[in-house]
Amino acid sequence: MRSSDIFKESQKYMPGGVNSPVRAYVGLDIDPPVIKKGSGAYIYDEDDNEYIDFVGAWGPMILGHCDEDVVKAIKDTAENAIAFGAPTDLELKVAKFICNTVDNFEMLRMVNSGTEATMSAIKLARGCTKRDKIVKFAGCYHGHFDGFLVAAGSGVLTSNIPGSPGVPVGSIENTLIAQYNDIDSVKELFEKQGEDIAAVIIEPIAGNMGVIPADQKFLEDLREICTKYGTILIYDEVMTGFRVAYKGAESLYGVKPDLKTYAKIMGGGLPCGVYGGRRDLMEQLTPLGPVYQAGTMSGNPIVMAAGYAQLQKLYSNPGYYDKMDKLGEMLQKGAEEVAKEKGLPLVINRRVNMMTLFFNESSKVTNYEEAKASNTELYGKFFKHMLKNGMFLAPSQFEAMFLCTRHTEEHIDKYVDLMRKF
Ligand SMILES: Cc1ncc(COP(=O)(O)O)c(C=O)c1O
């Protein structure tokens, strides 16, 4: 078995055999398949097993794997431009395209990952407001920046405990935790410390405790509170930007942030990120202003070319989103029917082309506490059953599943059919 041999050897050289922990299938008692190839909605492991991919590299592969236009853009660019560390026309093209086609990106800066985008946006917010505190929501993930790694769970409203060894208490003492979809928990923090809060950062549709969309009114109230206190509202749309709609989750709510972060899809599958928003804030960045942020690889030509190809294709084909929404609805209905037939406890949260099937006894999942009540053991069994039968899903109950433009009704039928056999 070539795949498991490679994974075993990988463990000698890379912690857990991986370069990002979720890939290691911790707690599932199986090795992850080692993937060698992707095409459209399919990926293939080193033993030539075929899988229908519902992970999509954790979101970026919205056009499916190795989309011909993205591949061509990468190849063509690599002939002449790999990295310069100097201004290029290509980065201007992408910046202009994003600012002209997405609302409220008045100015932006490219970086190399989602983490870099969110930590830079926070630094900018702190620099502009001259305040130190930030608010994040329990269950939201904004990357591995120390200031975001705060244990999230019941009772964390008051006590900040680092979520990882290596995070000094000093790095998180300015991170306040509120409850998602609970405006009173936000008000409580602002009533006590509002004048010290630089920023509130939120995934407007959370994807990292499983998919949990914010309530419309909650987001509206959050905006109002931030405006009242002069606090910067940051939407982390690393996952949802160009995903739930071309113009991101923001366009589904019509509630405007001050800054926002995108990544994943905008790099066409290559390492990337971007933060941007209000011009007056972005102008505080070096070299114009005093807030320092830099990157050797930022705006890399090949990343820009891949991203540009992917964004242009998404922008010029709005029907893609309708198609993915229909397939998402088909999957949701099918899975709900099966759950009813089999008496499976199931709550499905979906926005367009991202969703989570929570094995949860409750009738709704609206925050981290409710998500955590899901039956992770049952999810683990379901995951293994699906993987064995050629479905590549997220190996955790608390992740999203993603549709791409290359999924078809047959793929959805197969998913539902396999669920019935579970
Ligand atoms: C909402 C959100 N923010 C930030 C990040 C971090 O992005 P990256 O893994 O590119 O650093 C992620 C990653 O999944 C994410 O989903």
List pLDDT tens digits, range 1-31: 899 999 999 999 999 999 999 999 998 999 9
With a 6 Å cutoff on the Cβ, whether 396 touches ligand 1 is no
With a 6 Å cutoff on the Cβ, whether 119 touches ligand 1 is no
pLDDT in tens, 189-237: 999 999 999 999 999 999 999 999 999 999 999 999 999 999 999 999 9
The CATH number for 2-66+318-421, chosen from 3.40.50.300, 3.40.1160.10, 3.90.1150.10, 3.90.1490.10, is 3.90.1150.10
User: Ligand 1 mean position to 141 CA, how many Å?
Assistant: 7
Average pLDDT over residues 266-289: 98
Among 25, 51, 141, 320, the one annotated catalytic: 141
Nearest CA to ligand 1 atom 10: 114
Determine the pLDDT at residue 413: 98
Q: Catalytic: 141?
A: yes
Question: Pairing mode, if any, of strands 197-202 and 205-206?
Answer: unpaired
Question: Pairing mode, if any, of strands 354-358 and 347-351?
Answer: antiparallel
- How many whole angstroms separate alpha carbon 74 and alpha carbon 169? 43
Q: Is a pLDDT exceeding 60 seen at residue 154?
A: no
Residues 6+ apart with CB under 8 A from 241: 102, 248, 249, 260, 261, 262, 263, 264, 265, 266
With a 6 Å cutoff on the Cβ, whether 139 touches ligand 1 is no
Determine the pLDDT at residue 157: 35
With a 6 Å cutoff on the Cβ, whether 207 touches ligand 1 is yes
Average pLDDT over residues 378-385: 97
Q: Is a pLDDT exceeding 50 seen at residue 156?
A: no
pLDDT in tens, 343-353: 999 999 999 99
Q: Is a pLDDT exceeding 70 seen at residue 159?
A: no
Q: Is a pLDDT exceeding 80 seen at residue 402?
A: yes
In ligand 1, which atom is closest to the CA atom of 237? 1
Residues 6+ apart with CB under 8 A from 112: 271, 272, 273, 295, 297, 298, 300, 303
With a 6 Å cutoff on the Cβ, whether 405 touches ligand 1 is no
- How many whole angstroms separate alpha carbon 298 and alpha carbon 86? 10
> What confidence category does residue 164 fall into, taking pLDDT thresholds of 50, 70 and 90?
confident
With a 6 Å cutoff on the Cβ, whether 58 touches ligand 1 is yes
| DSSP structure class, residue 36 | E
Residues of the chain with CATH 3.40.640.10: 69-316
In ligand 1, which atom is closest to the CA atom of 206? 1
> What confidence category does residue 162 fall into, taking pLDDT thresholds of 50, 70 and 90?
low
In ligand 1, which atom is closest to the CA atom of 273? 10
User: Ligand 1 mean position to 140 CA, how many Å?
Assistant: 10
User: Ligand 1 mean position to 124 CA, how many Å?
Assistant: 18
Residues of the chain with CATH 3.90.1150.10: 2-66+318-421
H-type alpha helices, 277-375 = 279-282, 301-316, 319-342, 368-372
Average pLDDT over residues 364-372: 95
With a 6 Å cutoff on the Cβ, whether 236 touches ligand 1 is yes
Determine the pLDDT at residue 245: 98
Cis peptide preceding 87, ω within 30 of 0: no
With a 6 Å cutoff on the Cβ, whether 52 touches ligand 1 is no
Q: How many CB atoms lie within 10 A of CB 283?
A: 13
CATH of domain 69-316: 3.40.640.10
- How many whole angstroms separate alpha carbon 118 and alpha carbon 293? 12
- How many whole angstroms separate alpha carbon 372 and alpha carbon 138? 11
Counting ligand 1 atoms within 8 A of each CB, the residue from 23, 112, 140, 142 with the most, and so the one to mutate, is 142
CB-based contact 63:404 (threshold 8 Å): yes
